[in-house]
Structure 1
Amino acid sequence: MIRLFLPDSPDLAKGVSIVLPPDPSRYLGAVMRKGPGDEILVFNGRDGEWLARIDAVGKKSVTLIADRRTRPQPQGQGPVLLVALIKRARLATIVEKATELGASKVQLLITHRSNSDHTNVERLTLIAREAAEQTERLDVPEILAPVKLDRLLDGLDYSAVFFGDEDSTHEDDKATLSMLKAVEGSDPDRAAILIGPEGGFDDDERQRLRALPNVHPVNLGPRILRADTAAISALTLFQAAAGDWT
């Protein structure tokens, strides 16, 4: 069944009328050829998932009537993914898979080795929205505009941050643990996963990360992973150990 994310809809309740914006109206009426009486599922990230019936199809808008709630809104939010900017196609893959894997937000980062300092956040938000609609997720992760890693670390506000550290040769006392072991007991709603750019963090960034008390270096396995593979692997391991897969 068709699912639509309607972030600007009124609060969903039985009998509520919803006038769709032009794009979803065109999709339902012109593309999918839906008409009065047809059923779809809708969600707004606040009120759970609702079965709605098409009430009217006009030239510029479609009107729905909410009928019944099919699923309540989950309470948990999931971890935040902090990820350095990489090539466009691979970054799009990260956003799509982070949505599927339950990340609550994706914060884009500019690091010393980033090969870009900007990206199309609107496009990435659309990718996240489509992934949520297709995978029965009841909210859509926020995609946050790029900030410099140094600025993020100045105001770090997570109970724990786990960053992929492929370099295990350090003189400090902070052990690099496996991801599964490091995240045991973590609060998934206050934790973040940090993934660097292709080529990894430079020495200054790595030293600063390892010096912060709530930042934990983790090992993602014996092979060097591309940034997109590392992000997907880290989120998968986190959800298996401390997230909504347990």
Structure 2
Amino acid sequence: MPATPAWPPRSAPRLFVSDPVSEGVPITLDAEQAHYLSRVMRVGEGDAVIVCDNMTGEWATRVTVAGKRNVMLEPVEKLRDREEVPDLWLCPALLKKDRFDLVLEKATELGVARICPVVTRRCVADKLNHDRVSRIVTEAAEQCARTALPGVEEPVKIEAFLKALPADRALFFADELGGEPAAEVFKTRGTPAAILIGPEGGFDDAEREAIRAHPRAKPITLGPRILRGETAALAAVSLWMGTMGDWQ
């Protein structure tokens, strides 16, 4: 007798929805998500869709209506609770759009809890399109099977960021002019934590002095090479996740 196929199948499409999911309450998708499922993924009635709501966790649902602009889902089974997210903030200076898009996408995949963009004197941008940001982090979370979305803050100037940093949060400052080896420093500080990364041209002297004077800032080095802003951000997060986060 052939084995019964696993349900839901691993290949089932994944979506984040805005409202809490609960058993017995149908889910009506918005037009964009309905188009994606019906026209791109070609789902039909009875097919499985994995749904996350960023609140209760991950659910297996079954398609009950599969129109071109109207797709409805029936929650069948809760698969996982919302994941426990390591308390790490990534605080990158704004970069050129395509490079910052990469930071948003990969930081989401790597598991950060919050992304707090900062604006410095050498930044080439000072604002974000939040519809675009939301789409990037949501699609990244769907691709890597996260059940939690990172929070993304409004960009703030570096001076305001330093002033508002919570008193209980360690600040690791990736300084291209040098610091202590990052992995060693990470191990000496617990959570909560924040990693500060500079822009394409680096921090200027006054900014660097202000950061180093902050009582909770610890300058770190990410090795002998000077890294691009996006590379430094992702390298630092990866190293922190491997030593202090949920990769252990």
Structure-1 residue corresponding to 2:198: 196
Q: Matches of 1:101 and 1:33 in 2, distance apart?
A: 30
Q: Matches of 2:34 and 2:145 in 1, distance apart?
A: 20
Equivalent residues of 1:51, 1:70 under 8 A apart: yes
Structure-1 residue corresponding to 2:175: 165
Structure-2 residue corresponding to 1:93: 102
Deviations 1:152-182, CA, capped at 9 Å, x for gaps: 11111152011111113xxxxxxx2111011
Q: Which runs of 5+ in 2 are unaligned?
A: 1-11
Q: Matches of 1:186 and 1:66 in 2, distance apart?
A: 42
Q: Matches of 2:72 and 2:24 in 1, distance apart?
A: 12
Within 5 Å, give how 1:107-118 maps onto structure 2.
107-118=116-127
Equivalent residues of 1:52, 1:65 under 8 A apart: yes
Deviations 1:11-66, CA, capped at 9 Å, x for gaps: 32322211111111111112222111000100011111110000112453211011
Deviating above 6 A after TM superposition, structure 1's stretches of 4 or more consecutive aligned residues are none
1:48 matches 2:57: yes
Structure-2 residue corresponding to 1:184: 187
Q: Secondary structure at the match of 2:187?
A: coil
Q: Matches of 2:188 and 2:43 in 1, distance apart?
A: 47
Q: Identity across aligned pairs (percent)? A: 40
Q: In the alignment, residue 184 of structure 2 is paired with which amino acid?
A: K
Match of 1:212 among 191, 211, 214: 214
Shifted more, 208-217 versus 115-124: the winner is: 115-124
Q: TM-score, normalised by structure 1?
A: 0.91
Shift of 1:118: 2.1
Equivalent residues of 1:121, 1:144 under 8 A apart: no
Q: Matches of 2:176 and 2:40 in 1, distance apart?
A: 47
Q: Secondary structure at the match of 2:56?
A: coil
Shifted more, 226-235 versus 191-200: the winner is: 191-200
Within 5 Å, give how 1:3-14 maps onto structure 2.
3-6=14-17, 8-9=18-19, 11-14=20-23
Equivalent residues of 2:197, 2:233 under 8 A apart: yes
Equivalent residues of 1:78, 1:102 under 8 A apart: no
Kindly tell me: are residues 240 and 77 of structure 1, through their superposed partners in 2, closer, same or farther at Cα, counting changes over 3 Å? Answer: closer
Aligned length: 236
Q: TM-score, normalised by structure 2?
A: 0.91
Q: Secondary structure at the match of 1:223?
A: coil
Q: Secondary structure at the match of 2:200?
A: coil
Structure-2 residue corresponding to 1:33: 42
Q: In the alignment, residue 70 of structure 1 is paired with which amino acid?
A: L
Kindly tell me: are residues 46 and 77 of structure 1, through their superposed partners in 2, closer, same or farther at Cα, counting changes over 3 Å? Answer: farther
Equivalent residues of 1:54, 1:65 under 8 A apart: yes
Q: Matches of 2:130 and 2:67 in 1, distance apart?
A: 31
Q: Matches of 1:13 and 1:45 in 2, distance apart?
A: 13
